Amino acid sequence: MLDLRFVRENPEVVKLNIKNKFQDSKLPLVDEVIALDLESRTAKQEADALRAERNAISKQIGGLMAQGKKEEAEELKKKVTAESERLAELEQKETELQEKITQIMMTIPNIIDPSVPIGKDDSENVEITRYGEPVVPDFEVPYHAEIMEKFDGLDLDSARKVAGNGFYYLMGDIARLHSAVISYARDFMIERGFTYCIPPYMIRSDVVTGVMSFAEMDAMMYKIEGEDLYLIGTSEHSMIGKFIDTINQETSLPYTLTSYSPCFRKEKGAHGIEERGVYRIHQFEKQEMIVVCNPEDSMMWFEKLWQNTVDLFRSLDIPVRTLECCSGDLADLKVKSIDVEAWSPRQQKYFEVGSCSNLGDAQARRLKIRVVGERGKYFAHTLNNTVVAPPRMLIAFLENNLNADGTVNIPKALQPYMGGKTVIK
């Protein structure tokens, strides 16, 4: 969420940013919120003047009563009563206007970084760098579900009976591989100085609206019926929420955390949810990393975060590339974002396995995550990035480590987490 003063003083900058995100329908909101803000400040000024006058009159009444001038005091009391009614009207008006202003401000997108390429959607994202040599084996690579099923490691039919489409049972070595990847990712991030955390898997509505846009919330979140609780779509939600309404010492930053959680997503409007496989699903597990830092350090941490994901995948012999997300592909709160994509030998193309985002002070402003230091009080910057998210990551792992005889190699880094196994047969 932007600073209202910034919007008031830089309306054309805000409008250009909206155009660059191809959200022209939101352009009228800028003038509307500025007009509402003016009306709100005018009402506040009148209310403040009435409060000051009421306080002055109250002192006069006390003086008159002390002098025995009851009639004059009663006349002033009538004036106070009339002004109190007007003050109540103004206070109600202020509340209503602030609610409207907040609603609009939470809809106007954050200002994107000048380095972000301008484009309408993900088809215009820009490749940055490739890491590792993509290999196309001289044998046919089966569909990932088929690979898993040959190891008796995947049961979609039973899951469909139990929970419907978009769910799965993982078993045997495939389930063990899933847990091994998560454990390895946890230790990988701990070794890089991040603090391990297991967060709540449900969050309240004020945290939900603090960490994401309304559009994302509608498309992703499952609500617990009858309670003010939502299942998290990623542990970033509850991890950033951990700092809600806090004042943090400048010298304590940055906070660097890596968190494990199951994730739950509606995948509303998503294509392929009924496909046989585990690429797009309603439930999965993930290791995440988040950073809360000083504004001047956020871009430095942004570079470090996506590099962590690249390094982890390369340590498991999986070729990856990074993509700069264009303006139209950025969620409203994001300043800048980079996707990490893994190579698929079967499809002979890359597919997304993680996303790194710098949200500037948007989440901090909504959740009141403040910093105090030599410069006074200001909002922190927040960032998040996927370390690894199986079972989607397992697709890349299995395809890139598959042998012609159907066995799967276990990279050296992962062998301790698989009981010393070097291959799955």
Q: Which residues are annotated as a binding site for ATP?
A: 265-267, 352-355
Long-range contacts: 53-57, Cβ < 8 Å, 24+? 53/83, 54/80, 54/83, 54/84, 54/87, 57/83
CA 211 to chain CA centroid, nearest Å:
5
- Cα-Cα-Cα-Cα dihedral sign, residues 100, 103, 106, 107: negative
Instruction: Pick the closest to residue 401 from 378, 425, 370, 375 (CA basis).
Output: 425
Within 13 Å and on the Cβ side, how many CA atoms surround 84? Answer: 9
How far apart are the C-alpha atoms of 97 and 211, rounded to whole Å?
A: 23
Binding site residue list: 234, 265-267, 288, 352-355, 384
Binding site residue list for L-serine: 234, 265, 288, 384
Report, in angstroms and rounded to the nearest whole number, the Rg of the chain calculated over CA atoms: 27
> Which one-letter amino acid corresponds to residue 220?
M
DSSP labels, 405-421: TS-EE--GGGGGGGTT-
How far apart are the C-alpha atoms of 21 and 309, rounded to whole Å?
A: 27
Torsion of CA 128, 324, 14, 32, to 10 degrees: 160
3-state SS, residue 170: strand
How far apart are the C-alpha atoms of 62 and 78, rounded to whole Å?
A: 14
CA 204 to chain CA centroid, nearest Å:
15
- What is the CB neighbour count within 10 angstroms for residue 87? 19
Instruction: Pick the closest to residue 231 from 284, 288, 178, 166 (CA basis).
Output: 284
All residues at 6 or more sequence positions from 67 whose CB lies less than 8 Å from its CB, including other chains: none
Instruction: Look at the block and give the residue holding tokens 């009148």.
Output: 46
